[in-house]
């Protein structure tokens, strides 16, 4: 039996997975209005070959590939107006994380402490083991010792609802509706899932519809099937994947670099084909430039 997608998926009429869709009315009929999607707005970050943010990007430095169409003429281009970060850290407390659980909890507590000097930022911590995700603290994890005490007492056990927890965390972060908020989910996991109702695709869709970037820290020391899952989660949502060694520090640095060098670009919708539109950003001059953005957006096949 098919599992229903998250409720936010039903509101994709007004939300591109890359950003927002602008809707315009056709005609002057005061009773009947025909709305059409006419513009794609895309947020992305620009990095150099050393993974440092590029703060001087020009509109001529990149092109957008929407499906198979190359777009160089933009309706607008500007630095992002994000003013603060909303971070959620996801702790894998299931039995599969047992071999690395102590290191994982130590890394998470260290990561929380490293965010203390960053203004305009909230930090929440979630965990999963058994059947349901748990919210350990919301928005004020640096202000109290309660989550530290809870994490210190935890033991890894139970099943692994990774995808369900990503859906839960994406919905949690999406409640911060301020347009100036960049929402980031840092996932500490080995990539295994043993019990989720939702699928990997559902988890990605939920993050995209909530405008949530996923940064994955792999708990494994060697290549395993879970690494491919974590890579897919991060790449599809415009985040990054990190191996366990130095993962927390590198993830935080990458998040801050992207936050400080993020741009918005808009262009006319190149094709009104319903379904998922794959989008990429490519450099036009400096081939060392790297761009991180959502993997695409949904064009609705009907309006509600």
161-184 pLDDT, tens digit per residue, is 999 999 999 999 998 767 678 899
Domain ranges for the chain, please list them: 7-79+264-299, 84-259
239-288 pLDDT, tens digit per residue, is 999 987 777 888 888 888 777 788 999 999 988 888 889 999 999 999 99
Provide the percentage of residues in the chain whose pLDDT is more than 70: 79
pLDDT reported for residue 6: 47
Fold of 84-259: Rossmann fold (3.40.50)
- Separation of CA 228 from chain center: 17
pLDDT reported for residue 60: 96
- pTM of the prediction? 0.74
Is residue 293 over pLDDT 80? Answer: yes
7-44 pLDDT, tens digit per residue, is 444 343 333 333 333 333 333 333 332 334 588 988 89
């Amino acid at each position: 039996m098919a599992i229903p997608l998250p409720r936010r998926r039903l509101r994709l009429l007004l939300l591109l997975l890359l950003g927002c869709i602008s809707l315009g009315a056709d005609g002057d009929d005061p009773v009947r209005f025909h709305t059409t999607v006419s513009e794609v707005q895309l947020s992305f970050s620009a990095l150099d070959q050393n993974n440092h943010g590029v703060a001087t990007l020009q509109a001529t430095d990149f092109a957008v590939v929407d499906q198979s169409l190359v777009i160089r003429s933009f309706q607008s281009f500007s630095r992002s107006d994000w003013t603060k970060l909303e971070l959620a850290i996801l702790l894998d407390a299931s039995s599969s994380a047992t071999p690395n659980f102590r290191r994982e909890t130590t890394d998470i507590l260290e990561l929380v402490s490293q965010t203390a000097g960053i203004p305009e930022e909230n930090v929440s911590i979630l965990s999963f083991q058994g059947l349901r995700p748990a919210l350990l603290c919301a928005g004020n994890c640096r202000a109290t010792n309660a989550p530290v005490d809870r994490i210190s007492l935890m033991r890894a056990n139970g099943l692994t609802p990774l995808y369900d927890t990503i859906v839960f965390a994406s919905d949690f972060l999406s409640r911060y509706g301020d347009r100036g908020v960049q929402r980031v989910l840092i996932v500490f996991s080995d990539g295994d899932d043993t019990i989720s109702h939702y699928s990997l695709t559902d988890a990605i869709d939920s993050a995209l519809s909530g405008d949530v970037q996923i940064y994955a820290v792999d708990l494994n020391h060697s290549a395993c099937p879970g690494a491919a899952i974590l890579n897919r989660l991060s790449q599809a949502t415009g985040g990054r994947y990190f191996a366990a060694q130095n993962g927390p520090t590198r993830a935080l640095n990458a998040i801050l670099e992207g936050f400080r060098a993020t741009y918005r670009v808009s262009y006319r919708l190149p094709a009104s084909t319903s379904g998922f539109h794959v989008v990429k950003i490519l450099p036009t001059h400096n081939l060392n430039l790297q761009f991180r953005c959502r993997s695409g957006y949904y064009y609705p096949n009907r309006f509600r």
